[in-house]
Every structure is written in C-alpha cells, then in structure tokens.
Structure 1
C-alpha cells in the first residue's frame, strides 16, 4: 500500500498534537511515511515538534518527523497539506474580539468585524501556502481549515481558482457529535445529514439513521428545549463560553422550527444579547490562552522534560478525524459523504452561483462532487445573501486595497448597527492590524 507524506501547516498550533495522534490511529488505513511541520514561528513550533518527535518514536517509530521554517524543505515531495494557520496568533484574536465590543458590537473571531479583521490577515497567509504547495509539490492537495473559513474559501475561489484546495470546517462535526450523543449513538458516523448554508451560518434539514429513518423529530424536540446541551460531560460543555452557546441554539431554532441551526447564527440573530452577556475585559481569546494554550504547551514541555509521552494527557481532537477522513477520501476515492465549502454553481438553484456554500458532497480522488440541495426558503436565502455580500466585499477589499469596500463589508454585517459604528470599528482595526493588512486607500 502506498505511504503518504503530509505537511501540517501551522505546526506550532495547539491542534497539531491532536492531529498527529489521530493520524497514528489511522495508520493501518492511511499509512504515512513522513509528517512535516511547517510554521513561520520556529520557536513556537519547536516545543510542539520536540514533543511530537518523542510521541512518534514511542508509538510509530517508522513514521519520520521533520519540522521546518523553510518552505522548500516543508513542501517538497508531499501528498497533502493540512493547513490550520492563525496569522497574528491569539494576541490578534484578542483584539478581534475586544475592539468590536468596545463599540457595543459582537466580538467574535469568525463573525462580524472580528471575523473580517481575521479574514484580512488569513487571506495572504493561506494564499502563500497554496503557492508553496504548487511550486514544490504541484500534485498535492491542500485540506484547509484555517479560519475564518468562509472568507478564506471565497479568497481561494477568486484568487486561486485552479488550485487543489478543499475548504472544510469542523464546527458542524462537533455539533453532530452532540446530536449523536443525545440520540444514544456512539458516533456521528451512525447518521447521515442534510445541511446547507455558509460556513458558520447553516441549518440541518434532515438527520437519518443508516436505514434511512428520519431522526429529526427527536432532534428538533431536544434542540427546541435544551439547545445542543447533553448530559454535561462533553468537552465543549466544560467551557463556560461554549456551554452558553450550545444552550442558546434553542432561541435560534425557534425562528425556523423545522430545522436545527449552526450555533454561530446566534451572533447574527441575537447580537444585542451576545454583547450584553460578553465580558469586554475577558473574552474567548483569554479563555483559550489561559486554558487550551497553557495546557497543550505545558503537556508538550512535560513530554520533553521527561523524555517520554507515556503518561501524557494530550488527546485526539474531535475535528482531526474529519481531516483524516477527507485525506482518505481523496487518496482512496472512497466517495464518502462529507460537508464541504464549495462554489454553489447550481446546488442551490435560487442562490448566487459563485457563493461558497457549505453542503454535503461525495468526495473522491478528483475532489468533491456537490449534492443538489434544491431551492431554499426566503428567510435563509435572505440572511445568506447578506452574509455572502460581506464575504465577497472583504475579498475585494483585500485584492484592491479598498478602505471603502471594507467599510461597506463591516456595515453590511448583521452584527453591526450602523455605518458610523462600522467606520469607528474599522479605523480601530486598521490601527491594530498595521503589521498584517495591506495598506487601504
């Protein structure tokens, strides 16, 4: 069986150890020769890489590990790039959240002005990775789950239209795991779903068991009463900010009782509530820096200090399984049904054909084959049109260096109350992002 070479772009990420653990779990089905880590922050990556080297030596000594800040070294002779970069790291995420909140607007890393700011930083970073891949391994595929996925996907569609890039998101996967748990299933893979929307902006219209029996009545009943809360033991429910998000889904679901929503819709439909319940001094970024960031780097340092990973508390990340499934689908032409972010092009016939929509696809060696969703209701269509306008304006603003279009994008966001507030936020974001954004005129 062929063995594969993989580059994890964003090698210094806290998610990298979980992805490597997942890859090791799948070695029988997806054999690996070499894993390369690539990051432009060598010091940060070194801690992760040194710990992962010990982990691999103990659990899969046949798999080689290389960590590099050199693009040619990292991207030569590879089959897949798994990209999860965060341009500006958590320090910039903190500003993405706190600057809008200062102006009474939702502060969230992928939604509203914060997501737009993050998108303007992510676009050049992701395009750079694509260019490295195409230069050094032109046959490789990029599995991109760098946020904000909606803006990044639109940028890859418009600015790198012929690239072998698959844009994905793990958020629906996490919600489906909670749904499966509430239904008494061991895994979301025991279900088949119908879903449509934009990234972080969609709805499940049906969920079936493997015999084709619809489970939606039970799912709708639970979400309408409890949101996506389970018995309280899931990883997400251990985090205060996520716990409230999962429960808030019941209020979002009330707007369309025949579907169940992506949790992120709360930021667009209840922005006043979100701002009122946000701590402007301590946001999700602070929670992550003091929680996950310290934990993962602490565990990695402990592995290095002890010289063994045998007692590590590092675990497989939920979203990592989706990435490996996607790589297998490409490598072995499995035609697995997966949610992907793809150009609409008729899948939703009453919607912009150039919009990047999140829908079920059958994934094989030639990439995703879209499944037709059909026409969608006016409520969802109208919300989606407004949000697609935001995403397209951001990419145009990046491409043209246009202050005007970025102001329009922020004004158009459903999270922002007026053009005046949008301009005030934009001026603050420009100051904060001088090291990352193109000059705007």
Structure 2
C-alpha cells in the first residue's frame, strides 16, 4: 500500500467524528494517515464545517501531518481512498424520531435498529449505501468499506448480496462495550478479556468468556445475575435478567436482547420515556445541539468528554483498531460483521454474521463456532430471515416484501398490525423511499 493513507468518511458532519479523529491521532505511529476527507450532504453543511474545524484543531494540537478536507462532493472524497468509513443517517434525526414514535402508537417497540424502526432505517439506507458502493467500484475499487451505519447487519447483508464490493466489514460498538463492561465487572484490564461472539448485529451472544485465556463464563453469568441492569450502553436501560433465565441460557446476551426477552417491559418503558422526555431521537437532538455549541469553541482542540452521553462509546477504538489490523496484518481477534463462510453452521454461508474473527490484510477470517446453542438458534435465524427479506424489499421497492419482513420480526404480533405500521411509516418517510412509490406509480 502507498505511504500515507487516504480515509474517506461519509457522514463526516456527525457528532461522532471527533471520536474517529482522536482514534487516528492516537494510532498515527502504526497507521500513517495523510488525508481524511469528511463528506456530508447540503443539509449537513453547517455541522460538517463545525466538526471539520474542530478536527483540524485536534490534528494541529497533535502536531501531525494529517490533512483534513471538508467536501459535499462524495466522488472527490472517494477517489483513490484506501479506507471508506460510513456513519450517516438518511433523513437525519427527524427520520429517527418517526421510527421511534409511530410504532409506539400501536404498542409496538419504537427503536432505531429493532422492529419497525430498524426495518425503515434499512429501507432508507440500503439504496444509498449501494450507490456509495457503485462509486467505490469506479473510484477506489481496492478500498475497504468499514460500515458503522445502522442497522449494520442488514447493511452488510445488502452490500454482500447486491454489490460487487466484497471488501466490506460492518462494525458496531456493542461487542467492544460488552468486553469493557465485563473487564470492569472482573476488575481487570480490557486487554486480558476475550469473548467468543456469535450471532447477528444487535443480536449477538457471548458464547465464551476468557480471562488470560481461561474460561470465566460461569463467574461472569453469576455476577450478571446479581446486577439490577441488563444493559451496558447509554441508549438502553435494562431491568436486570432473571437469574434462572440467564443461567439456563448459558451465554452472555447483548443489551439489545432486552427488546426480545423483555418486550412487554421495554415497550412500557419506551412509551413512558417518550411521554416524559420525548423519544430517544429528541433527547439526542438536544444533546447534539449542546455538543455542536461546544465544538464551535475555537479554543477546543480535543474530543469533549460530553460526547460520551451520545451513546457511541468506544466507537473510534473499534474503528481504528479494525483499520490498523487490516493495514498491518495484525491477525488479532475482533468482533465484526462479515460473510459467514460456514463459521456459524446454523446460518447461510453467504450471509452477514456478527462474529469474532482474525483480522488480516485480506480482511476478517471468522472463527468457526459450529452450531449456535439450540436456545438461541431460532431467534437468530428469525432475525436473519427478517434482514434478508428487508434487504430485498429495500432494493426492489416491493411493498409486499416490506409487510412480510415486518411480520417475520418477532417484535410485531400480526400481519394486520405489520401492514398498518408499514402503511403509516411509508407515508411518513415518503421523501426517502422513492423506490416504493415509483413501483406504485408504474
């Protein structure tokens, strides 16, 4: 690879960008980045300029020869890039607010990546990511696509199935958050803990937990049963698992499992929170407003600690760790979304899975986990069916498939209910779902 890496970040005006810049600064010795191109759309121009100027001050303070470029021209940013990171939100936070509020009217969970919200975020996002892939095929065919955009599993599935870009890795901060939380529970440094992850994005399980290579899963499960909270991320507050359930499951659930194993409680809580404080999207809008005011300060030249409230903890660590391991052929083990290739026997070989993998210069090589335990296999397969049908609906604009996808999802109780929600959400997101309305008009 040429000396001096070019990174293109789509969604560069995101409030998370300072996390990413901090990661590249901290790892400059092993990752010689010479150019970072932050790309956004016209509606994100003001935020891009604010975040971009903070990024420039951060690099200047670190005294590193990294050029920060700000642009609304995606193609210019992608030309000859080595790595492309994606962290965008089609429809911005207003669309997320609709994803969260509309399902609640039907007593169905309103959440950004699960249930109806996850479906509609996928339907809006997949055509855009496939457009980026098309540009990459032409402008940087050898680049790696590192996708952080949610729903990360469904997006990775769509790229693998519907584009010729195969150098794609989906990334999420949930597994690294679980590792950090368990290290904290055990009161040890994170580097000593390893978890065997297997499943799907936001539907991943820790099948094994090791401290210095020795299994401590039983100790961790026993410790978790005594906790009053079943979550480890800012945007999900859990209730604590029933000890009998967790011991019989014999695996570490991720925070998003609250939505599947505690659906009733989570719907009630989400409705109550929405009534009292607004949806999570509305809370985030206020947080972001405060963050961007901070970012504007010409004296600020570091990532402000307030960013942690945003819910993206360890984001830069996960992203930069992955990019560095590919670039340096480190062959360390990291949890990623990648092609299954037989690693999980219970899922199709060609599908995207979230799994611990050895990270090489040729990309992730997933660790073979065999069959998932029977206790979790069915739920994981059901969500994979949902992701597959949803991705096909996004690409074809097939209304019937959208209804089918939502009916398959375990968070929706009937096909009639699925149809009602799809109809209302299609109408609400009409501007960002042209593929469905073009089909209707034709």
Q: TM-score, normalised by structure 2?
A: 0.91
d(CA) in 1 for partners of 2:343 and 2:436? 37
What does the per-residue CA deviation read over 1:162-208, in whole Å, with 9 as the maximum and x for residues that have no partner?
Answer: 43211121111112111111111132x22121121111002111111
Which of residues 90, 95, 99 in structure 2 aligns to 1:96?
99
Which of residues 53, 56, 59 in structure 1 aligns to 2:56?
53
5+ residue gaps in structure 2? none
d(CA) in 1 for partners of 2:348 and 2:167? 23
What does the per-residue CA deviation read over 1:317-359, in whole Å, with 9 as the maximum and x for residues that have no partner?
Answer: 5121111111111111111111121222321223333332111
Which of residues 262, 266, 269 in structure 2 aligns to 1:274?
266
State the 1:259 CA deviation. Answer: 1.1
User: After superposition, where does 1:52-201 map in structure 2 within 5 Å?
Assistant: 52-187=55-190, 189-201=191-203
Whether the aligned pair in 2 keeps the contact of 1:79 and 1:139 (CA below 8 Å) is: yes
* Matching of residue 383 in structure 1 with residue 379 in structure 2: yes
* Matching of residue 439 in structure 1 with residue 401 in structure 2: no
Q: Mark the CA change 1:338 to 1:354 in structure 2 (over 3 Å): closer, same or farther.
A: same
**Count of residue pairs brought into register by the alignment:** 426
Q: Mark the CA change 1:381 to 1:103 in structure 2 (over 3 Å): closer, same or farther.
A: same
Which of residues 388, 392, 398 in structure 2 aligns to 1:396?
392
Which residue of 2 is the match for residue 27 of structure 1?
28
Report the secondary structure of 1:277's partner residue. helix
Report the secondary structure of 1:65's partner residue. strand
d(CA) in 2 for partners of 1:5 and 1:205? 37
* Matching of residue 5 in structure 1 with residue 34 in structure 2: no
Which of residues 208, 211, 216 in structure 1 aligns to 2:210?
208
Report the secondary structure of 1:202's partner residue. strand
Report the secondary structure of 1:97's partner residue. helix
d(CA) in 1 for partners of 2:428 and 2:165? 33
What does the per-residue CA deviation read over 1:34-92, in whole Å, with 9 as the maximum and x for residues that have no partner?
Answer: 11101113232111112222222222342111000112321123211111111111111
Report the secondary structure of 2:431's partner residue. coil
5+ residue gaps in structure 1? none
d(CA) in 2 for partners of 1:383 and 1:229? 19
Whether the aligned pair in 2 keeps the contact of 1:197 and 1:203 (CA below 8 Å) is: yes
What does the per-residue CA deviation read over 1:88-120, in whole Å, with 9 as the maximum and x for residues that have no partner?
Answer: 111110100001001100011000001001011
Q: TM-score, normalised by structure 1?
A: 0.91
d(CA) in 2 for partners of 1:20 and 1:363? 22
Report the secondary structure of 2:355's partner residue. strand
d(CA) in 1 for partners of 2:164 and 2:140? 17
d(CA) in 1 for partners of 2:419 and 2:243? 30
Q: Mark the CA change 1:120 to 1:22 in structure 2 (over 3 Å): closer, same or farther.
A: same
State the 1:269 CA deviation. Answer: 2.3
Which residue of 2 is the match for residue 263 of structure 1?
255
RMSD after superposition:
2.2
